[in-house]
A and B are shown apart, each in its own frame.
Chain A
Amino acid sequence: RKEVEQDPGPFNVPEGATVAFNCTYSNSASQSFFWYRQDCRKEPKLLMSVYSSGNEDGRFTAQLNRASQYISLLIRDSKLSDSATYLCVVNALDTGRRALTFGSGTRLQVQP
């Protein structure tokens, strides 16, 4: 079983739609959680950190459910520029290192 699992998609949605991605992680010792965005043939870039209380940044809302070990990302009012791969990322501090464990990513295609 992969440490971080995501639905690969693609999610094809029209502009203005609301879309949600989920991600599950297997290491219960995971402490930090993130969503990264990766455009085609580019490096990953941090979209937002995910906090236990949930957090929002403009059209983006992230939620964490520690009991069920899943993380979600909600995108409202989708824009064409949101088309990208969204990577779910966790950091398990029990390993003593700070390297990130990435999911395989969920591809989003927003259509006009």
Chain B
Amino acid sequence: DTGVSQDPRHKITKRGQNVTFRCDPISEHNRLYWYRQTLGQGPEFLTYFQNEAQLEKSRLLSDRFSAERPKGSFSTLEIQRTEQGDSAMYLCASSVDLAGISYEQYFGPGTRLTVT
């Protein structure tokens, strides 16, 4: 499968624990995005990378959240000291961005986080 993959698909954790999610974008896609989606809402932007550089973080991304894309390929999203309000679907998307022109974003299947 050459699409965007995410791991794990589901994560149940207790409040206060740390969790880490991984996203593998489509190879050669230089842009990688993280979104969060709660029930009944559309996905909300969290952060994005151009290659290995994190270029923007949403104000939704509190200091408990950190994302990395160390070699410009896969990315990780870590949430420290999880809270029940962090329960959501975390979606990763990737795209090609060439000379300022963005192309379609392809989404992964998401990681569903439940904080108990």
Q: Is A45 an interface residue (CB 8 A)?
A: yes
A 3-14 to B, binary, CB cutoff 8 A, 1 in contact else 0? 010001000000
Within 8 A of B (CB), among A1-51: 4, 8, 32, 42-46, 49
Chain A residues near B91: list those with CB within 8 A: 43-44
Question: A97, B55: Cβ atoms under 8 Å?
Answer: yes
Q: How far is the CB of B10 from chain A (nearest CB, A)?
A: 11
Question: B95, A105: Cβ atoms under 8 Å?
Answer: no
Q: Which residue of B lies closest to A43 (CB)?
A: B107
Chain A residues near B62: list those with CB within 8 A: none
Q: Is A100 an interface residue (CB 8 A)?
A: yes
Q: How far is the CB of B84 from chain A (nearest CB, A)?
A: 20
Q: A43 to B102, alpha carbons, bound, how many Å?
A: 20
Chain A residues near B43: list those with CB within 8 A: 44, 87, 100, 102
Question: B56, A97: Cβ atoms under 8 Å?
Answer: yes
Excluding A43-B108, A87-B42, A98-B95, 18 further A-B contacts by CB distance (< 8 Å) are A4-B42, A8-B40, A32-B102, A43-B107, A43-B109, A45-B107, A46-B104, A46-B105, A97-B48, A97-B56, A98-B31, A98-B97, A99-B35, A101-B45, A102-B43, A105-B40, A105-B41, A105-B42
Q: A103 to B37, alpha carbons, bound, how many Å?
A: 11
**Sampled A-B contacts (5; CB under 8 Å):** A46-B106, A97-B56, A98-B102, A100-B43, A100-B105
Count A-B contacts at CB 8 Å. 50
Q: Is A55 an interface residue (CB 8 A)?
A: no
Chain B residues near A72: list those with CB within 8 A: none
Chain A residues near B25: list those with CB within 8 A: none
Question: B41, A104: Cβ atoms under 8 Å?
Answer: yes
Chain B residues near A44: list those with CB within 8 A: 43, 91, 107
Q: Is B21 an interface residue (CB 8 A)?
A: no
Q: Is B44 an interface residue (CB 8 A)?
A: yes
Q: How far is the CB of B82 from chain A (nearest CB, A)?
A: 21
Q: Which of B45, B91, B97, B108 has most A Cβ within 10 Å?
A: B45
Question: A102, B48: Cβ atoms under 8 Å?
Answer: no
